[in-house]
Structure 1
Amino acid sequence: MKLATWNVNSLNVRLGHVLDWLQANPVDALCLQELKLPDEKFPHEALLEAGYHACWAGQKTYNGVAILSREPVLDVQRNIPGYDDPQQRIIAATLPGPGGQPVRIISAYCPNGQAVDSDKYAYKLDWFQALRGWLDGEIGRHRDLVILGDYNVAPADEDVHDPAAWEGGILVSDPERQAFRDLLGLGLRDTFRLFEQPPRIFSWWDYRQMGFRRNAGVRIDHILATPDLAARCLACEVDKIPRGWEKPSDHAPVVATFGVA
């Protein structure tokens, strides 16, 4: 079973990229973030023609998440239950996994936070706390659970191209990293770090100052899995190829492969 995540930074702009990537990489499910379109504009027919069912939570101009899957999904949940938030950042669904064991899949677009002294930063930390509380219950209900998405947190200095330049700033501040560690404290595993990885592997590069060409990036797109599922993870990689396409998203897809129990 192959699961992937990709912040496409506007599905309307990059639908062609998504379709091309899926044709070359026929994953079982692809989680998307930053759709930047309302529900009624979601291109479900084009995706169905490509062989993918979809569930989504759209929002005009900002945010928005989706799960594209080979098989129809069950038990769809939009947003964090009980958390009053107009921003569309979470969608969850259940899919049949390897060997028939159901897998709970969550597509997450975590807040950016803007700056450590901003209201948006306070919202980010509060949102992560709400996410952790909800995930605690979800993990209790689903043995195999994976949450894929743009976390807007680089967990460690090795996930940043220049740790000294970023120190204390957004995406790498101690409270943000602690919020990420709190998710791992639920038993979730960062599938990318289950394997020996080459140095300087990132998933986001700024459009400015030739960030991608200089590999001046950060690793903020993650696939976290519950212990039993993580134990069956065979690989996790960042696919940098789409970041080099014309008019790309500033993020690259991350793909994890899981074996049968």
Structure 2
Amino acid sequence: MRLATWNVNSIRTRVDRVAAFLERHDVDVLALQETKCRDDQFPHDRFTDLGYQVAHVGHSQWNGVAIVSRVGLDDVRTGFPGMPSWAAKEGQEPTAEARALGAVCGGVRVWSLYVPNGRTLADPHLQYKLEWLSALRENAAGWLAEDPAAQVALVGDWNIAPEDGDVWDMAVFAHSTHVSPPERAAFRAIVDAGYADVVRPHAPGPGVFTYWDYTQLRFPRREGMRIDFVLGSPALEARVEHAFIDREERKGKGASDHAPVVVDLTP
């Protein structure tokens, strides 16, 4: 089974690229993040015409996650227990954002995750991010406690660079989110709960990135970040045969600012 994850930064803008990616790489399951549309705006037909089932959750022009699969799409879950809420504007009631979607695809529980950004070290959004990751960790640990042989893939845009070599220049990020000790500790806590970064052994760093900002020619200057990951349970990690980051998808007109991450699993 070939599993991929991609922060597509607007599915309606890039549906042609996504469809071409699925066909070119013969992808079985694709998790998408930052779809930036409501459920009724998602281009379902484009994927069903290619033989994929679709699950999507999106409430507005922000956030949004999806899973498209041609190997089954069962037990779809929107969010996870204890996932914190966020108020987009002062005075509004906090609500659950469209940041987590799970489904069983070909025997693998796939979670498409769009971890909150955090914004700045002084912003309340960072505390929201840490609480969100803590709730995810509690659930992820519980899934393995219930079934140590469970095949679980936690995939998506984590908005964390867990190692110094995962950013192009640590000096630039010295006072920024994504590399702060609390964020890295939150990422490591999920790894310590039993989930391995299954891509890094096949695409080691430093300097191997998945995201490049649109500004200041970051991509051609190779000034990026590694913030998109596939964390697998032990049973899933044992099936990983190969993995790669499709840097070519960051090139050309209309590219997302993220590159897809692809993992091949043995039968």
TM-score by length of 2: 0.92
Alignment partner, residue 233 of structure 2: 226
- The residue type paired with residue 136 of structure 1 is A
Residue ranges of structure 1 left out of the alignment (5+ in a row): 97-101
* Cα distance change of structure 1 residues 132 and 198 upon mapping to structure 2, 3 Å threshold: closer
Query: 1 CA distance for matches of 2:127 and 2:138?
Result: 17
Pairing of 1:1-261 with structure 2 (within 5 A): 1-85=1-85, 86-96=96-106, 102-141=107-146, 143-195=150-202, 197=204, 199-260=206-267
- TM-superposition CA deviations, 1:181-229 (whole Å, max 9, x none): 0000111000122336354110000000000010100000000001121
* 8 Å Cα contact 1:168/1:174 also seen in 2: no
Amino acid at match of 2:181: D
CA distance in 1, matches of 2:10, 2:24: 20
* Cα-Cα RMSD: 1.3
Going by fraction, where is helix more abundant, 1 or 2?
1
Deviations 1:57-90 (A, max 9, x none): 1121100000011123111100122435221100
CA contact (8 A) 2:84 2:128 kept: no
Task: State whether residues 35 and 59 of structure 1, in contact with CA within 8 Å, keep that contact through their aligned partners in structure 2.
Answer: no
The question of whether the paired residues in 1 share the 8 Å contact of 2:84 and 2:131 is answered with: no
Local SS of the residue matching 1:250: coil
Change (3 A) 1:226 1:118: same
Amino acid at match of 2:153: V
Percent identity for Structure 1 against Structure 2: 40
The code of the aligned residue for 1:115 comes to T
Aligned length, in residue pairs: 255
Single out whichever of 136-145 and 219-228 deviates more from structure 2: 136-145
Deviation at 1:248, TM superposition (A): 1.0
